[in-house]
Amino acid sequence: MSEVRHNSGYLRRAGTAGLILAALAAGRVVTGAFQADDSISAPFLRAGSVGKPVSLRYADVTAGHVDGSRCVSVGTSVLRTPGVFVVVPLTIVAKGKPANLRYAALQDRQGRTFLATGSRSPFAPGTSQPGLARYASVVVEVPPDAVAGAHLRIALDGLDQRRDDMADIDLGLTAAQAAGWAGSATGVSVPDAADQPPTIRTGRACEDQT
């Protein structure tokens, strides 16, 4: 009789341990299936549109008139692409303390992300002093089919955008604009980042640029 009770105690403990393991496994499956890990660490997207300031934790960011071409002049370099360069002028006003925004990317309708990084897709706005406008441009090299419906995403940290504000600006671009830029003979002149508003510079013909 006492042996039966002894065995049933072991069985009950084993059953409890099994149930705990099953609960842990079920939790892991649920978080994996619904991508809970990604949503927990995702940036906080702040939606906006061209010409309207997007209020972020660290700055107000406003995208200006979007331009594009198959060639751009950046500093002393002329860049050409078989796709298109999308050029977005930004006005950045930091909040509370200086901010140097280091993340910019174009996200297309298919969910593809094109980073503005390196020499072919530059984004280097420099440090913005709080309350004073900083003028900079995002240049992103993309295939023409990524232009229509693309959103511009801007964030503070170039390496880690988790759990922080990120501007998500609908650039209002169409397939017709993409086709026009891809066949354009006129390049876009990209001004350097500065504390002064940029002067309008007319782009030169792509073939003329060396």
Partner 1 sequence: MMAPLRHALHRPGWGRANRWGLLALPLATIAALAASSDRVQLYFWEKGLRHPTSGVAAQWVNFRDQYSDSNGDHQRLVRVRLDAVRPATTPWLSTSPLQLPPGSKAVAVTLSLQADSKLPLSVCSLAIRDADGNRYDYLSSFGEQPTSPCVPPDTRGPDAAMGEFGGGSDPDDPPRPAQWTVSPVIVVPAGVTPTEVDLWWEMPDYVSLAISG
> Minimum CB separation from partner 1 for residue 74, in Å?
18
Helical H segments across 34-76, by residue range: 36-41
Span 160-179, contacts to partner 1 by CB under 8 A: none
DSSP string over 2-14 = HHHHHHHHHHHHH
Other C-beta atoms within 10 Å of 46: how many? 17
Other C-beta atoms within 10 Å of 74: how many? 21
Member of 53, 60, 78, 98 binding partner 1 (CB under 8 A): 98
Q: Which of 157, 171, 46 is nearest to 107 (CA)?
A: 171
Residue with tokens 């960011």: 61
The verdict on 133 binding partner 1 (CB under 8 A) reads: yes
Cα–Cα distance measured from residue 64 to residue 70, given in angstroms and rounded to the nearest whole number: 20
The verdict on 127 binding partner 1 (CB under 8 A) reads: yes
Stretch near partner 1 under the rule CB under 8 A, chosen from 70-78, 111-119, 131-139, 168-176? 131-139
Member of 7, 41, 49, 129 binding partner 1 (CB under 8 A): 129
Stretch near partner 1 under the rule CB under 8 A, chosen from 35-43, 62-70, 172-180, 190-198? 190-198
Stretch near partner 1 under the rule CB under 8 A, chosen from 38-46, 70-78, 95-103, 105-113? 95-103
The verdict on 196 binding partner 1 (CB under 8 A) reads: yes
Cα–Cα distance measured from residue 39 to residue 208, given in angstroms and rounded to the nearest whole number: 48
Binding stretches for partner 1 (CB under 8 A): 96-98, 126-127, 129-133, 195-197
